[in-house]
Amino acid sequence: MYYHDKRLQYPVKVTTPNPQFARMLQQAIGGVEGEIRVCMQYFFQAWGNRAPTTKYRDMLLHTATEEIGHIEMLATAVALNLETAPASAQEAGAADGIVGAVMGGGSAKASIEGLIHKNLLSAGLAAMPIDSDGVPFNMSHIYASGNAAADMYCNVAAESTGRVLATRLYNATDDQGMKDMLHFMIARDTMHQQQWLAAIEDMGGTEGLPIPNSFPQSQEHQEHNYDFFVTSLDGQYPEGRWTGGPTMDGRGEFTVFRNQPMGEEPVLGSARPDSAAQAEQIGEKPQTI
């Protein structure tokens, strides 16, 4: 179970509120590479973890719990950045009217608010669990496969795209408060990348490959399990680490195979009566009067 402290994990300050930047920050809350995702992903991986040891479960709980605090920091940052967004025609009228005049094509005063959409209209100038385009986060992005090694790669992927996003946000602002918050979050993403890679090593590294390593490789099609398949019409392909030399698991050699049909043209045959296909698909006459 869980406890809270009202103070933030790290300071969140905004020198110059910027409603547009609030919208960009939303990507780090409700984007597919955002903090709700990693928080819930680590929790579900922990809660469903089955293993002789509890150490992976335990580790995941520490980091999942940390991530709630990251959502909280970002939600605070969004709210602070929205502080100067006009909420009414009266307030907008006091701002520079030029944009409204040319953009709105009409009423100058309503135009700026339109740019922040749901954060004003649905949330009253606060953060929402949406991305930077206003699309709500969908929980299908919580990857927790029941295979701990697969999950760790999902986590490396999440923290890699997460740090990519955080540095883009860092680059996009020159507000010192925001830069400070983000440079802390970027550091935590660095650690979390390291942490999941460390867990992969802890589980045996390349011993863990191919994932799942509980399926006997003797039962997979061994003729093509280390082949790079070429699908270009002219048979050309880019040479690289993947077209020759020892495989990454050390159990084979990369080779190149020019893809071609090994199967036949599929035959599904006629549609069945009562399947509501057209009569021609069934091979009967139309059943109209």
Q: Site residues for its own copies, window 205-244 (CB under 8 A)?
A: 207-234, 237-242
Residue 192 in marked binding region = yes
Cβ neighbours of 252 (radius 10 Å): 14
> By CB under 8 A, what part of segment 75-104 binds its own copies?
75-76, 79-81, 84-85, 87-92, 95-96, 98-99, 101-104
- Rule CB under 8 A: is residue 38 a binding residue for its own copies? no
- Rule CB under 8 A: is residue 27 a binding residue for its own copies? yes
> Taking CA 159 as the corner, what is the angle to CA 228 and CA 163, rounded to the nearest 5 degrees?
110
Site string for its own copies, 269-288 (x = CB under 8 A): xxxxxxxxxxxxxxxx-xxx
> By CB under 8 A, what part of segment 105-164 binds its own copies?
105-107, 109-115, 117-118, 120-150, 153-154, 156-157, 160-161, 163-164
> By CB under 8 A, what part of segment 42-61 binds its own copies?
43-44, 47-52, 54-56, 58-59, 61
- Rule CB under 8 A: is residue 19 a binding residue for its own copies? yes
Contacts of 177 (CB under 8 A, 6+ apart): 11, 12, 13, 14, 15
Residue 280 in marked binding region = no
Residue 159 in marked binding region = yes
Residue 264 in marked binding region = no
Burial degree of 52 (CB within 10 A; 0-12, 13-18, 19+) = exposed
Q: What is the largest CA-CA distance in the chain?
A: 78
- Rule CB under 8 A: is residue 62 a binding residue for its own copies? yes
Cβ neighbours of 127 (radius 10 Å): 23
Q: Could you tell me if 115 and 98 are in contact, meaning their C-beta atoms sit under 8 angstroms apart?
A: no
> Tokens 């780090």, residue?
28
Q: Which residues pair with 257 in a beta bridge?
A: 229
Residue nearer to its own copies on the CB measure, 31 or 38: 31
> By CB under 8 A, what part of segment 185-204 binds its own copies?
186-191, 193-195, 197-199, 201-204
- Rule CB under 8 A: is residue 176 a binding residue for its own copies? no
Please name which of 167, 170, 131 lies closest in space to residue 32, comparing C-alpha atoms. 131
Q: Which residues are annotated as a binding site?
A: 35, 58, 67, 70, 159, 192, 232
